[in-house]
Amino acid sequence: MAFTRAFKGYLREITATYQRGDAREESFYDPLAELIRTAASLCGRQGTAVTTLPRPTEAGNPDFRVSNGRDRIVGYIETKHLDVQNLDQVAPNLRRREMEPPLARFEREGGNSVARTRRGGFQYDPSTERLYINTAQHLAPVPLEVWEYQLGGYHVADKWFTDRADRPLSLDEIRTYCRIVTALDRTIAIQDEIDDLYRAVEGRVVALGI
């Protein structure tokens, strides 16, 4: 739970930075460095040091160097911008194993136009896990936890369509949204796994009296 709160705080901070519209890549470094230190502390690694933009090493020019704060380098971190276009370059197996086939499918014939209001047909039905974009067409399944997931105060699954209301979706946009649903579902599962892992580590630390 503690790490999940820290991670969500990190996401809120970088989202706010991004939304200001004047950030450079380096603007996102400090929140990540703090998240790494927090994660290390929660795992009993107090004193972990994170150096941003360290001098060149045998590993090249990493964005971060992580050490035990005394005499041992733990590793280096190179950050990358992730999007649908370059996902394969950064994590070549992620799309194949985790993103395909997509969780949601686009169903029914129609003009692919996104209604702006519930009266126009845009609505989510939790009983069937269907997200209707108009009176005839829908995506399914969209799990309730995916539909309700928020990032930086934004309702991700809903806002994507809000920005595209009153116009038809292209085939690429439909495919992208199906991958977004899949990615959010995986994100929620990973957060749950992290919570379970932290509870297990915390239990061992308490048992050892550390």
Whether 95 and 161 share a structural domain: yes
Is-contact 15 151, C-beta < 8 A?
yes
Q: Is 42 a domain residue?
A: yes
Q: What is the mean pLDDT of residues 39-47?
A: 83
Tell me the backbone φ, ψ of residue 138, rounded to 5 degrees: -150, 165
pLDDT bin (cut points 50, 70, 90) of residue 204 is low
Shared domain for 97 and 179, answered yes or no, is yes
Whether residue 182 sits in one domain with residue 107: yes
pLDDT at res. 208: 45
**142 assigned to some structural domain:** yes
Half-sphere exposure of 139 (CA within 13 A, CB side): 31
Domain range for 148 is 87-186
Q: Tell me if 87 sits within 8 A of 139, measured CB to CB.
A: no
pTM of structure: 0.55
Q: Is residue 101 part of a domain?
A: yes
Which pLDDT does position 47 carry in this prediction? 85
Residue where a domain terminates, one of 41, 60, 79? 79
Do both 67 and 8 map to the same domain? yes
